[in-house]
């Protein structure tokens, strides 16, 4: 793709990315939020994290199917246990990587 066309494309993409990130922050940060909305928003991190993680562990992508034998799922078990036990972000990331690496080695004969 040539220069002006490509520039318009990434500018459009940039705007489509930036606006959803910026508008709620701008609008909601200078307003007193209703307690109900605040309570609901407090649950959003746990909700989004679970929603992002679950398909990575329980599904395959092309075609989209339920699949319970992914190496990601096997590695997630010790990772989750370690996170619950230690609550250490650094430790969990390292244990997770080691577990995923080990699962990869064990699976390939």
* Positions in 14-33 near other proteins (CB under 8 A): 14-18, 20-30, 33
Query: Does 74 interact with other proteins (rule: CB under 8 A)?
Result: no
Q: CA–CA separation, 82 vs 76, rounded Å? A: 10
Encoded tokens for 4? 């002006």
Q: E strand or H helix at 11, and its extent? A: helix 3-28
Out of 4, 34, 62, 65, point to the residue binding other proteins (CB under 8 A): 65
Tell me the C-alpha distance between 68 and 64, whole Å. 13
- Residue (51 or 109) nearer to other proteins, CB: 51
Q: Report, in Å, the least distance between residue 109 CB and other proteins.
A: 16
Residue 66 forms beta bridges with which residues?
A: 59
Give the one residue of 34, 62, 69, 89 binding other proteins; rule: CB under 8 A: 89
With binding defined as CB under 8 A, does residue 106 bind other proteins?
no
């Amino acid at each position: 793709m040539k220069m002006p066309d490509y520039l318009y494309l990434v500018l459009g993409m940039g705007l489509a990315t930036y606006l959803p990130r910026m508008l709620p922050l701008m609008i909601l940060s200078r307003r007193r939020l209703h307690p109900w909305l605040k309570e609901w928003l407090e649950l959003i991190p746990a909700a989004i994290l679970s929603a992002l993680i679950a398909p990575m562990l329980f599904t395959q992508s092309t075609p989209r199917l339920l699949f319970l034998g992914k190496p990601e799922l096997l590695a997630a078990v010790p990772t989750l246990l370690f996170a619950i036990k230690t609550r250490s972000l650094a430790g969990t990331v390292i244990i997770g990587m080691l577990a995923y690496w080990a699962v990869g080695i064990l699976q390939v004969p």
